């Protein structure tokens, strides 16, 4: 059993009860999911890249560049003090809102959604940055007002108007999938902050009404309604709106226990749309089988477990609420993506965090998890335990260096 007290020069073994478990679980799962994502993007994109007269490594190299950009962002976020996140909450939300407004007037339309902002030859999704900004801002306002959240007036102001504005701007671009993920983010923040369940139930009902309105009455709502009918109705074949889901299931069903082998997918040969993006989980199931899909699910579950541990152990209300928001965002989005691939949910176009191709999503998710890693570093006893482990590593390297010199 690990001890809670740690002195410099000694360290505790990393067990579930150790002070640094959250830190190492977050670092390990984030790294493993990112590496798996790079491997699977390479495997699932080679055929389509060749068909487009590009290098077979084109999509992989782009994703690798984004990962290399995201790595220092993650490291910087992991070392930023908690007080700086609180200071950046309001400016960060203001920047995110300005970018979301800019998308409405200057954005590019891709796949029927106006959610890309071009900057020269580069384009990014401000809605991804808005997720992180909203999580930090909700952590600040709800954490500060936590003792007063039993009153409806304090539970509403200013968190609800701020969240509604962000969600409204995202919906204005037609990005319903991202709006649903943001809804999970807001719900997680409100729940951990201690907002009354009756208030959350009313908010959920209103959100469901808005989602129904967007699905059915929006200009392209007819296509979305057809997706719902195709997913849950009897008429589900390759000629219907569930073509993509069917081929995702074909890939998962072909994989069996251990898969057809890395690179051996048949569905990626232009049968499965977005094979290296929204439906990369299907390619994982086809090439790596049940073993690969369970591995990814386990890593996502461990990531969520590590964040729940930060929520339980940390003493700062801001950290608790912001971590809950990020946890519901990342883990919730992962299970929404997987639900779409296995046909439980209609196709709404959200990537698998850290795994699917996409620079904006990858960099922002790495930044958000870097922030949670920073929180894990400030858990009770964690800073001292990490310093002690660093001291032991330095002494070990010094001993090895001395042995080499004596030779």
Mapping DSSP onto H, E and C, the string for 75-91 reads HHHHHCCHHHHHHHHHH
Q: Is the pLDDT confidence value at 326 over 90?
A: yes
Q: Is the pLDDT confidence value at 28 over 60?
A: yes
Q: Lowest mean pLDDT: which of 100-104, 331-335, 345-349?
A: 345-349
Q: In the structure, what pLDDT confidence band is assigned to residue 10 with cuts at 50, 70 and 90?
A: very low
% of the chain surpassing 70 pLDDT: 83
CA distances from 24 to 21, 290, 360, 388 (A): 5, 26, 25, 15
The burial of 198, by beta-carbon neighbours within 10 Å (0-12 exposed, 13-18 middle, 19 or more buried), is given as exposed
For the chain, give the mean pLDDT.
84
Q: Which residue has the tokens 């998308």?
A: 103
φ, ψ for residue 235 (rounded to 5)? -85, 75
Q: Is the pLDDT confidence value at 221 over 90?
A: no
The confidence score (pLDDT) of residue 234 equals 57
For the question of whether the overall pTM of this predicted structure is more than 0.85, the answer is: yes
The confidence score (pLDDT) of residue 230 equals 64
| Closest of 197, 392, 189 to residue 307, by C-alpha | 189
The confidence score (pLDDT) of residue 243 equals 76
Q: Is the pLDDT confidence value at 18 over 60?
A: yes
C-alpha dihedral, 383 to 386 to 387 to 393, nearest 10°: -170
How far, in Å, CA of 23 to CA of 380, rounded? 12
How far, in Å, CA of 127 to CA of 93, rounded? 11
CB 98 within 8 A of CB 392: no
Q: Lowest mean pLDDT: which of 25-39, 196-210, 251-265, 297-311?
A: 196-210
Structure token pair of residue 94: 């203001």
| Closest of 360, 113, 344 to residue 227, by C-alpha | 344
The confidence score (pLDDT) of residue 220 equals 52
Tens-place pLDDT, residues 286-308: 999 999 999 999 999 999 999 99
Q: Which residue has the higher pLDDT, 10 or 351?
A: 351
Structure token pair of residue 346: 């209609």
| Closest of 92, 121, 96, 95 to residue 108, by C-alpha | 121
Beta strand 113-119 with 122-124 is: antiparallel
CB 351 within 8 A of CB 278: yes
φ, ψ for residue 265 (rounded to 5)? -60, 140
Question: Which region, left, alpha or beta, applies to residue 53 given φ > 0 means left and ψ of -120 to 50 means alpha?
Answer: left
Q: Which residue has the higher pLDDT, 133 or 118?
A: 133
Estimate to the nearest angstrom the gap between the alpha carbon of 125 and the chain centroid: 14
Tens-place pLDDT, residues 141-153: 998 877 777 676 6
Q: Which residue has the higher pLDDT, 197 or 369?
A: 369
Q: Is the pLDDT confidence value at 321 over 60?
A: yes
**Other residues' Cβ atoms within 10 Å of the Cβ of residue 380:** 11
The burial of 335, by beta-carbon neighbours within 10 Å (0-12 exposed, 13-18 middle, 19 or more buried), is given as middle
| Range among 63-72, 97-106, 193-202, 237-246 with highest mean pLDDT value | 63-72
Tens-place pLDDT, residues 390-407: 654 454 444 445 544 555
| Closest of 274, 323, 331 to residue 297, by C-alpha | 331
Instruction: Identify the DSSP state of 126.
Output: H
In sequence order, the β-bridge partners of residue 109 are 114
Q: Which residue has the higher pLDDT, 48 or 382?
A: 48
Q: Is the pLDDT confidence value at 15 over 70?
A: no
Q: Give me the long-range contacts of 72-76 (CB less than 8 A, separation at least 24).
A: 73/363, 73/366, 73/367, 73/370, 74/30, 74/366, 74/367, 74/369, 74/370, 74/373, 75/370, 76/370
The confidence score (pLDDT) of residue 64 equals 96
Q: Which residue has the tokens 């499965």?
A: 272
Q: Is the pLDDT confidence value at 14 over 70?
A: no
What is the arithmetic mean of pLDDT over 336-351? 88
Helix 126-144 to helix 159-172 angle (10° resolution) is 170
Ranges assigned E (strand) in 52-157: 108-110, 113-119, 122-124
How far, in Å, CA of 191 to CA of 313, rounded? 17
CA dihedral over 375, 379, 383, 388, signed as positive or negative = negative
φ, ψ for residue 275 (rounded to 5)? -65, -35
How far, in Å, CA of 280 to CA of 340, rounded? 11
């Amino acid at each position: 059993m690990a001890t809670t007290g740690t002195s410099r020069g000694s360290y505790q073994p990393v067990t579930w009860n150790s002070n640094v478990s959250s830190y190492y679980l977050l670092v390990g799962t984030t790294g493993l999911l990112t590496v798996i994502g790079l491997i699977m993007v390479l495997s699932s994109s080679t055929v389509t890249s060749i068909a487009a007269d590009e290098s077979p490594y084109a999509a992989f190299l782009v994703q690798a560049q984004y990962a290399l950009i995201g790595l220092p962002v993650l490291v910087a976020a992991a070392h930023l003090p908690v007080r700086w996140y609180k200071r950046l909450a309001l400016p960060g939300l203001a920047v995110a809102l300005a970018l979301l407004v800019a998308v409405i007037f200057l954005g590019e339309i891709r796949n029927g959604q106006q959610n890309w902002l071009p900057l020269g030859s580069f384009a990014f999704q401000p809605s991804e940055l808005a997720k992180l900004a909203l999580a930090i801002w909700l952590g600040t306002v709800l954490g500060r007002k936590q003792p007063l959240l039993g009153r409806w007036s304090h539970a509403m102001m200013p968190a609800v108007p701020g969240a509604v504005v962000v969600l409204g701007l995202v919906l204005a671009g037609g990005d319903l999938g991202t709006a649903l993920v943001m809804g999970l983010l807001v719900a997680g923040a409100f729940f951990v902050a201690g907002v009354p369940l009756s208030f959350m139930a009313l908010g959920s009902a209103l959100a469901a009404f808005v989602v129904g309105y967007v699905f059915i009455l929006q200009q392209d709502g007819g296509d979305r309604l057809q997706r719902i009918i195709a997913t849950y109705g009897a008429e589900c074949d390759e000629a219907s709106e569930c073509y993509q889901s069917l081929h995702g299931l074909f890939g998962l069903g072909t994989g069996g226990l251990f898969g057809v082998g890395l690179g051996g997918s048949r569905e990626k040969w232009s049968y499965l749309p977005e094979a290296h993006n929204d439906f990369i989980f299907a390619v994982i199931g086809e090439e790596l089988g049940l073993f690969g899909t369970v591995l990814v699910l386990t890593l996502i579950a461990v990531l969520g477990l590590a964040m729940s541990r930060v929520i339980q152990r940390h003493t700062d209300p801001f950290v608790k609420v912001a971590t809950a928001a990020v946890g519901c965002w990342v883990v919730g989005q992962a299970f929404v993506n997987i639900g779409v691939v296995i046909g439980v949910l209609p196709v709404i176009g959200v990537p698998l965090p850290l795994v699917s191709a996409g620079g904006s999503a990858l960099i922002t998710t790495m930044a958000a998890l870097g922030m949670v890693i920073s929180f894990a570093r400030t858990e009770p006893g964690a800073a001292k335990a990490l310093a002690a482990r660093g001291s032991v590593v330095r002494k070990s390297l010094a001993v090895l260096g001395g042995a080499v010199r004596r030779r």
